Amino acid sequence: MKKILFTIITLIMISGSNDLLAQKSSGNWSVGADILNRWNWRGIDFGNSPVVQPVIEYAYKGFAIGAWGNYSLSTTNTTEADLYASYNFDFGLRLDFTDFYSPIEPGNIGNYFAYDTAHIFEIGGIQTIGNLNLSAYYFLNVDDDLYFEVSYDFDDVNVFLGAGNNYFTTDGNFMITNLGISLTKEIKMTEKFSLPLIGKVIFNPDTEQVYIIFGITLSSD
């Protein structure tokens, strides 16, 4: 069932990507990066060193394809090089397909094309209703890993609660793993330039840990 579902999603994404590239003159390229003091994803901590997270994306109408990375400024963090595709519907639903890949560090043996062992493929979606966001995600090639999240926006502030199983928890049982608040704020540096700041406080009830995240966002459309 997983192989059939993955094959269908792959064909849809390839077909959409071909149409997207064919219409590139009407689309939009964007590039950017986050610089954070540490990397925490869905309540899981990936090291205590600063990271740079570059992203490049091409969007046409509701469809988008892109590449996202996570690179540590030391040797303590997990490195990622992910590819993704998404589609936004007019009624507030966005469907996502992501290929997660963690490159082997230089000097070790690794193979990007070992898709059965080196990659995690995820499907998911997020439904936005006003300021409320409901999301759900599923790993296609891992042991029925699920993650759900609900969040609410108050202007520049977002509060969120997420829960998962298997990969996301210490014992594999379904549990809340990602509870917190985030704030984005632009600090005006000059009349023409503002610096977007990111701040998060994250509590993981499963590991009983608290994380404070701070960073900046750089982007260009």
Name the one residue in this structure whose structure tokens are 């091409």.
58
Indicate the Cα dihedral angle 55, 61, 63, 64, nearest 10°: -10
Residue 97, pLDDT > 60, answer yes
pLDDT at residue 76 in the model = 62
Q: How far apart are CA 49 and CA 72, in angstroms?
A: 7
Work out the average pLDDT over 89-116.
82
Taking residues 85-107, what's their average pLDDT? Answer: 88
Percentage of the chain lying above the pLDDT 90 cut: 65
CATH number, domain containing residue 200: 2.40.160.40
Range of the domain at 92: 2-220
Predicted confidence (pLDDT) at residue 109 exceeds the cutoff of 60:
no
- Which of 32-41, 95-104, 110-119, 151-160 shows the lowest mean pLDDT across its residues? 110-119
Task: Please give, one letter per residue, the 3-state secondary structure of 148-176.
Answer: EEEEEEECCEEEEEEEECHHHCCCCCCEE
Greater confidence, 10 or 97? 97
pLDDT, tens digit, for every residue of 26-83?
789 999 999 999 999 999 998 888 999 999 999 999 999 999 999 988 866 678 999 9
pLDDT tens sequence across 121-156: 999 999 999 999 999 999 999 888 999 999 999 989
Question: For the chain, what is the domain count?
Answer: 1
Q: What is the DSSP string of 111-156?
A: -TT-HHHHEEEEEEEEEEETTEEEEEEEESSSSS-EEEEEEEEETT
Lowest mean pLDDT among 39-43, 110-114, 149-153, 192-196: 110-114
